Amino acid sequence: GAVVSQHPSRVICKSGTSVKIECRSLDFQATTMFWYRQFPKKSLMLMATSNEGSKATYEQGVEKDKFLINHASLTLSTLTVTSAHPEDSSFYICSASYSQGSYNEQFFGPGTRLTVL
């Protein structure tokens, strides 16, 4: 149980275009979803937290107009990288959680490798 999927797993796009990444909880309803960015040889950096039906809360330094997050249902959140540039190339990982008591464990997706040419 507690499986999270991401689509696509890999995407290559041209500079200036927009890319949408989907994150789905397959067997549970995710009240909260998180989006992370991982640079090569680096740790995961939290970009934003989204609760179903609410606006996402972005971490300091993350451009909300650049990285649009939508959490329209309890099983789907999307991250849209708008007007992508080469510096946006990265590995993007989502996680999802639901109410479990004292701590709501995050279940991670397999990640999406974005390459902007």
Partner 1 sequence: AQSVTQLDSQVPVFEEAPVELRCNYSSSVSVYLFWYVQYPNQGLQLLLKYLSGSTLVESINGFEAEFNKSQTSFHLRKPSVHISDTAEYFCAVTRGTGGGNKLTFGTGTQLKVEL
Distance CA 100, CA 98 (A): 6
Min dist. Cβ of residue 16 to partner 1 (A): 26
- Please give the structure tokens belonging to residue 76: 């789907």
Min dist. Cβ of residue 44 to partner 1 (A): 5
Does 48 bind partner 1 (CB under 8 A)? Our answer is: no
Amino acid letter for position 9: S
Please, are residues 74 and 98 in contact by the beta-carbon 8 Å criterion? no
Does 43 bind partner 1 (CB under 8 A)? Our answer is: yes
Min dist. Cβ of residue 22 to partner 1 (A): 14
Residue 47: strand, helix, or coil:
strand
Does 49 bind partner 1 (CB under 8 A)? Our answer is: yes
